[in-house]
Amino acid sequence: MSKMPDIMWLAEIKKDDIPSVGGKGASLGEMNAVGLPVPPAFVVTAQAFRRFLVESGIETELFGKLENLDVEDADVLEASAEKAMKTVMDAKMPESIKKSIIESYTKMGDTTVVAVRSSATAEDLPDASFAGQQETYLNIKGENDLIEAIQKCWASLYGARAIYYRAKQGFEDRGVDIAVVVQKLVYSEKSGVMFSSHPVSGEPTTIIEASWGLGEAVVSGIVSPDNYVFDQRTHRVIDRYIANKIVEILPDGDKGTKEVDIPKDRQDSPVLSVEEIEKLAKFAKIAEDHYDTPQDLEWGIVGGTIYILQSRPITTITSKSSGKKEKSEDTGKILLEGQGASPGIATGAVVIVNSIKDLSKVKDGNIMVAKMTNPDMVPAMRKAAAIITDEGGMTCHAAIVSRELGTPAAVGTKKATHMLKNGQVVTIDGEKGIVFEGGELKNADKTAQPVITGFAQAPIITATSIKVNVSLPEAAKRAAATGADGVGLLRIEHLILGLGKTPQWYIRNNKEDEFINELYTGIKTVMDEFNGKPVWVRTLDAPTDEFRNMKGGEEEPEEHNPMLGWRGIRRDLQSRDQFRLQVEAFKKLWNEGYDNLGIMFPLVGHPDEFIAAKGLMKEFGVDVENRVLGIMVEIPSSAILIDDFIAAGIQFASFGTNDLIQYTLAIDRNNQNVAYMYRPKHPAVLKLIKYAIERCRAGGVECSICGQAGSDPEMVKWLVETGITSVSANIDAISKIRETAAKTEKKIILDAARKQH
């Protein structure tokens, strides 16, 4: 045997050092070498163990005891193993080895707590062939305990199972050595596991599971962890599920670990920041690339430092089916990533719209690129094949309008207006929010196109009524083709987007009739497509900044925070004329027999506002007691005071989750910097919704949703289970929402029936 050191640090270990450092030691060394942040460790080599056997003088005695042993005789085997282990434990470790170990330990910091693990070393043999000798001693602190733990690992080579195993495999006891890994123990504050690629499909998406405390909680399954999905192609977090984490495992002094309850305030908070997800995913990719096969990794984070504790191949996918290589080679170069705001794929030439002057440059089939879209841009948006913005999130104006137009859109890309050039040909995937270079997305998933199926097969009947959000008259036909049970939200401000003038402009220029007529015609176009089904039209709710560039917009007040400003019913109650014109349009429709028209008031925070709006309508000549009037629940106060609204006579309430989330969590829905914190399923949001649903049910009032969350199947499942009466979704989401509602209803019925039996 060549002269090898007693101790090797991870950085000194090479792949072919298995005979000296064992499988485990070599694997840690390799991980360290490729740049994975492995906790510091050194290995007490097989040569040190061999020297111990020789210099302590136990070699002959030890192997003598094991020769000609009948391993099938359990009693004999057990007794011999016990004696052999005692021989090893009683032997004196050579001073020089002891000294090397202690020096190395001291280098780590002599109060460092370490894990001491056996690492089998027979050449050409994988670890698995050494079942029974993988002893591990955790929480080892101090020189004496460390030396004892190392000796215990050595002794474990002569445990009954290990001897039996070797005999059965035909290995000589003398021929097998053992190395011992001494590794700094990471007391993870958060930890978990991750799959470098999707464990079932092999897609290049890294799945990370995370929970508080030590990793055992996730590995053993005692806690349901957060789940984060990171797309390695786009380098974006594409999904996250924040679980309710009840317990964590923490170190218990010297006694190992203990299970403790997680304090309430941490139970529902996300374990990982975006930065941490990105770093973890980067390490997963390094491991997968290095081993050339998808990896299952264990990780821990302490004091902001990430450690990779283990990496091994995922057994559920073969590297061939991972599809990783084919995918990344076939897809065009990614130029930008934002939020997928409106599904569909389109290719075209870029036109950058910096100001209103540029709008006329957008021709049919162009890709319109703007910092953020304004209502005055809608005529150009109608022509565009796709829309890309720098700013905004899933519920911003650009996203909502694009969805209705059926135009693919990526919003919140941060730098599209700087990165892209006029005339440059790009392809956008509006489902994923990715902008690719060039004209063809070879591997494009064409199913991402919005598919409006209508009722090709037998209709799915749901007790929950499934309505659609539609505001642009040109989208009415597509909306009705979904077979929706009505319109759950028609936004007046979007209906008048194409007019280019603010309502106040019409008033100031004595063109009230023109405005009333525009509203009347637009609403009628939608209602005619829905033939007697309920259509809820919402009174104006345009933040002042959205009207700024329209004719008359210069008169709009400058507000520090338009989202919290003069919008919704609060503005209409002060701008009586503006409200009156809308009511005149409604009256015209009612007078023509459109009794299915219901009116919804936005941004209502107190029942007095509903009472005042109803009072004004009455003053303007509406038979308010015989008309359907309701409110948006989009300020927490309206959910909290829902009983008072019911007492004030609302006939329906509809959750405007786009705003309810931003006002509950103090997250600006248009701000891409905080988009990752915008959580529809935040427990506070769910609590408000649940309470309001329950009170509406008790009060016999229809309860609906028309915010973006109503287009999310997972959310809709929860809403139906919680008792919502109707859901209003985007045109492209109707069929999957209908299916979700139907499945959920069936399950509720089935569960109830099973309970009875």
The site for ligand PEP (CB under 6 A) is made up of: 395, 489, 491, 541, 634, 656-659, 706-707
What's at 393, amino acid-wise? G
CA distance 333 to 99: 56
What residues have CB less than 8 Å from 136, skipping those under 6 apart?
115, 116, 117, 118
Give the residue carrying structure tokens 């930890």.
191
CA distance 327 to 226: 28
The radius of gyration of the chain's CA atoms, rounded to the nearest angstrom, is 34
Q: Which is nearer to ligand PEP, 343 or 680 (CB)?
A: 680
Q: How far is the CB of 651 from ligand PEP (least distance, A)?
A: 18
Q: Which is nearer to ligand PEP, 407 or 664 (CB)?
A: 664
Instruction: Tally the residues of the chain.
Output: 757
706 binds, among Mg ion, ligand PEP, none (CB under 5 to 8 A by kind): ligand PEP
Q: How far is the CB of 282 from ligand PEP (least distance, A)?
A: 35
Q: How far is the CB of 408 from ligand PEP (least distance, A)?
A: 20
Structure tokens, 144: 């004496």
Q: How far is the CB of 655 from ligand PEP (least distance, A)?
A: 7
Q: Quick one: 311 exposed, middle or buried, by C-beta within 10 A (0-12, 13-18, 19+)?
A: buried
Whether residue 370 contacts residue 386, with contact meaning beta carbons closer than 8 Å, is answered with: no
Q: How far is the CB of 371 from ligand PEP (least distance, A)?
A: 20
Pairing of strands 205-212, 190-195: antiparallel
Q: How far is the CB of 723 from Mg ion (least distance, A)?
A: 22
Q: Which is nearer to Mg ion, 348 or 656 (CB)?
A: 656
Query: Which helix (H) or strand (E) covers residue 370, if one does?
Result: strand 367-370
Query: Which helix (H) or strand (E) covers residue 210, if one does?
Result: strand 205-212
Q: How far is the CB of 568 from Mg ion (least distance, A)?
A: 8
- Helices marked H in 641-680: 642-648, 657-665
Q: Which is nearer to ligand PEP, 135 or 541 (CB)?
A: 541
Q: Summarize as ranges the residues that interact with Mg ion (CB under 5 A).
A: 634, 656, 659
What's at 19, amino acid-wise? P
Structure tokens, 497: 């987007």
Give the residue carrying structure tokens 């399950």.
747
Q: How far is the CB of 9 from ligand PEP (least distance, A)?
A: 57
CA distance 698 to 701: 8
Catalytically annotated residue among 153, 198, 397, 494: 397
Phi/psi at 596 (5° precision): -75, 0
Q: How far is the CB of 216 from Mg ion (least distance, A)?
A: 44
389 binds, among ligand PEP, Mg ion, none (CB under 5 to 8 A by kind): none
Q: Which is nearer to ligand PEP, 380 or 394 (CB)?
A: 394
494: annotated active-site residue: no
Q: Which is nearer to ligand PEP, 217 or 633 (CB)?
A: 633
Give the residue carrying structure tokens 């020297």.
51
CA distance 657 to 709: 6
Q: Which is nearer to ligand PEP, 636 or 707 (CB)?
A: 707
Query: Which helix (H) or strand (E) covers residue 709, if one does?
Result: none
CA distance 734 to 616: 35
Query: Which helix (H) or strand (E) covers residue 282, if one does?
Result: helix 274-291
Give the residue carrying structure tokens 């980067």.
282
Distances (CA, A) of 629 to 614, 702, 753: 8, 11, 37
CA distance 170 to 94: 31
CA distance 171 to 268: 53
Q: How far is the CB of 658 from Mg ion (least distance, A)?
A: 5
Hey, is 138 helix, strand or coil? strand
Helix%, strand%, coil% for the chain, nearest 5: 45, 20, 35
657 binds, among ligand PEP, Mg ion, none (CB under 5 to 8 A by kind): ligand PEP
Whether residue 438 contacts residue 332, with contact meaning beta carbons closer than 8 Å, is answered with: yes
Whether residue 725 contacts residue 695, with contact meaning beta carbons closer than 8 Å, is answered with: no
CA distance 650 to 519: 24
Phi/psi at 176 (5° precision): -110, 130
Q: Which is nearer to ligand PEP, 268 or 541 (CB)?
A: 541
Q: How far is the CB of 658 from ligand PEP (least distance, A)?
A: 3
Give the residue carrying structure tokens 């989208």.
475
Q: Taking each helix axis as running N to C, give the angle between helix 59-66 and helix 74-90, from 0 to 180 degrees, rounded to the nearest 10.
A: 170
Whether residue 491 contacts residue 600, with contact meaning beta carbons closer than 8 Å, is answered with: no
Structure tokens, 94: 């050579």
Q: Which is nearer to ligand PEP, 30 or 541 (CB)?
A: 541
Give residue 235's region: left, alpha or beta (phi > 0; psi -120 to 50): left
Q: How far is the CB of 609 from Mg ion (least distance, A)?
A: 15
322 binds, among ligand PEP, Mg ion, none (CB under 5 to 8 A by kind): none
Q: Which is nearer to Mg ion, 208 or 492 (CB)?
A: 492
Q: How far is the CB of 660 from Mg ion (least distance, A)?
A: 8
Give the residue carrying structure tokens 């006579």.
649
486 binds, among Mg ion, ligand PEP, none (CB under 5 to 8 A by kind): none
Q: Which is nearer to Mg ion, 299 or 655 (CB)?
A: 655
Pairing of strands 367-370, 345-353: parallel
| Residues β-bridged to residue 337 | 434
418: annotated active-site residue: no
Q: Which is nearer to ligand PEP, 48 or 600 (CB)?
A: 600
Q: Which is nearer to Mg ion, 450 or 656 (CB)?
A: 656
Dihedral of CA 178/184/189/190: which sign? Answer: negative
Catalytic center residues = 397, 706
